Amino acid sequence: MDFQVVVLAGGTSKKLVPLVSKEVPKALLPVANRPVLSYVLEQLELSNIKDLIVVVEGADAALCVGGWISAAYVDRLHVEVATVPEDVGTAGALRAIAHHLTAKDVLVVSGDLVSDVPPGAVTAAHRRHDAVVTAMICSVPVSGLSEAGSSGAKDKTKKPGRYNIIGMDPTKQFLLHIATGAELEKDTRIRKSILRAVGQMDIRADLMDAHMYAFNRSVLQEVLDQKDKFQSLKQDVLPYLVRSQLKSEILINGAPQGQQAKENGNDKVSYRILANASTPSFHELYALGPNGSAPVRRTHKCCVYIASNSKYCVRLNSIQAFMDINRDVIGEANHLSGYNFSAQNNIIHPSAELGSKTTVGPHCMLGEGSQMGDKCSVKRSVIGRHCRIGSNVKVVNSVVMNHVTIGDGCSIQGSVICSNAQLQERVALKDCQVGLGYVVSAGCEYKGESLARKEK
């Protein structure tokens, strides 16, 4: 279908410290005991996309990601990993691999997207309109949505204020305006020419950019070439394309403009027949100008695909999102996890050992080889592989990664405990993040803190 797929796996995101580290880049953060990147790759594999380019920031991270992919997807996918320096941004990453892109269109997917929206839907919308860019947008996830009680209430207050303002035409097919969170504080400026051409604009604040884009390759490369300053696809490239859609400065080698270029008799007639028969979008009407003579103004189309509400679509770009996704994937969006749930609606690996009077509630997951002592209780939590958990431990709404040792009498609520961490006896954690290999000494109580080893 003449599409190339680029997965932007990122590097070690600063926002996710202390969860990420040199050894565990963002792409490999476990979601229900699977790296988050696997959700994207599997969704792509499901759509029969076998050739991928995965772009990773930083050589160390690339080594980790590449190693994991080659182990997990050998014989299944044909993946190429490209390394880019850190902090080049998404646009910079694409610039770096631009010479590898040859297909007509490029699908750019963020590696931290956990979604069951078929990528084909985005690309099909893109092709249908001959668009320059098609962005997938989805509804903003509500943090702590299903949990009315417990720690959910507190999360809501510190929900990050990252909003998108998205303007669409009444048919909800074209993107007219997009502003991301940083710009929101200021006044929002909307192009008058666009507003005049469309007549009516739907402005939505409850939608967000899911960071899955289909780009026309030549346009993308041209924009990246011309605008050296552009750092991010989401904040620079996409708003630029949307802004300039009615006075396009880019040369499109694609179909619609190419047809107009043919000025010789019969082709023009057939083009006119075609154009007359199809319902014109505002782009065409605007291009025609008020007199309806030959098209004089250059336009390009920016389309959107709105993921329906029944689909799950969240990005793992904050610690809160990490917890939400972990909870949802073993909870209400459990078709994504790819596991079979037991009758109790949880997943307990057969090799896991439970002590007497230990209960594992629904929407829980217990990884392979983990051991739990007596009288423990686990609710709505994910526990990784080979964890050793003592007696009388309560784990609620938390994520415990692999090889974690938890002493007797601990209580863990709403926290993330990274691999190889050690919790000694009677530790009480609430809304904390414990970094890789950190040791929490006995009897400590923490609330809302981020604990990590000092960087050497």
Partner 1 sequence: MDSRRSSRAVIDPKVRQVGFFTSAPLPPDRTQSDPPDPIRSPPLADASSPGNSLSPVMIPPPRHPSDSLLRLPHSPSDAFPPPSPTTTTTSLGDFSDDVTAASSPPPAAARVRGRGSSVKQQGAASSFPGGGFEVPPSVKAPSSVPASGLTTVSVVKLPPGISENAGGSVSVEVQSDRALNSKPLKEKTSKAERRAIQEAQRAAKAAAKAEGIKTPAVTALANAKSAKSTKPSPQRNDSAVVVAASEKKGGDRSVEKDRKKDVPHPRMQYDDKSRVQKLKKRSVVKPTEARNRVELFRHLPQYEHGTQLPVLQSKFFQLDTLHPAVYKVGLQYLSGDICGGNARCIAMLQAFQEAIRDYSTPPAKTLSRDLTAKISSYVSFLIDCRPLSVSMGNAIRFLKSQIAKIPISLSESEAKATLHSDIERFINEKIILADRVIVKHAVTKIRDGDVLLTYGSSSAVEMILQHAHELGKQFRVVIVDSRPKHEGKLLLRRLVRKGLSCTYTHINAISYIMHEVTRVFLGASSVLSNGTVYSRVGTACVAMVAYGFHIPVLVCCEAYKFHERVQLDSICSNELGDPDSISKVPGREDINHLDGWDKSENLQLLNLIYDATPSDYVSLIITDYGMIPPTSVPVIVREYGRGQLWI
Nearest to 111 by CA among 215, 6, 222, 236: 6
What are residue 41's phi and psi, to 5 degrees? Answer: -65, -40
Spatial distance between the Cα atoms of 244 and 240, rounded to a whole number of angstroms: 6
Q: Tell me how crowded residue 328 is: count the other CB atoms within 10 A of its CB.
A: 22
Residue 455 makes contact with partner 1 by CB under 8 A: no
Segment interacting with partner 1, rule: CB under 8 A, options 198-206, 223-231, 352-360, 363-371: 223-231
Residue 122 contacts residue 209 (beta carbons within 8 Å): no
Number of residues that bind partner 1 (CB under 8 A): 67
Among 24, 25, 32, 127, indicate the residue that binds partner 1 (CB under 8 A).
127
What is the longest distance spanned by two Cα atoms in the chain? 86
Closer by beta carbon to partner 1, 74 or else 148? 74
**Residue 275: alpha-carbon gap to chain centroid:** 37
Closer by beta carbon to partner 1, 19 or else 224? 224
Q: Is the previous residue joined to 295 through a cis bond, with omega within 30 degrees of 0? A: no
Segment interacting with partner 1, rule: CB under 8 A, options 28-36, 120-128, 132-140, 382-390: 120-128
Residue 453 makes contact with partner 1 by CB under 8 A: no
Residue 222 makes contact with partner 1 by CB under 8 A: no
Residue 66 makes contact with partner 1 by CB under 8 A: yes
Among 148, 269, 296, 343, indicate the residue that binds partner 1 (CB under 8 A).
269
Residue 112 contacts residue 26 (beta carbons within 8 Å): yes
Residue 296 makes contact with partner 1 by CB under 8 A: no
Residue 50 makes contact with partner 1 by CB under 8 A: yes
Report the chain's C-alpha Rg in angstroms: 25
Segment interacting with partner 1, rule: CB under 8 A, options 29-37, 147-155, 268-276, 425-433: 268-276
CA torsion 420-424-426-427 (nearest 10°) is -50
Residue 280 contacts residue 197 (beta carbons within 8 Å): no
Give residues in contact with partner 1 (CB under 8 A): 1-3, 47-50, 53-54, 59, 62-63, 66-67, 69-70, 72-85, 88, 92-93, 95-100, 102-104, 118-121, 123-125, 127-128, 130, 224-225, 228, 266, 269-270, 273-274, 276-280, 291-292
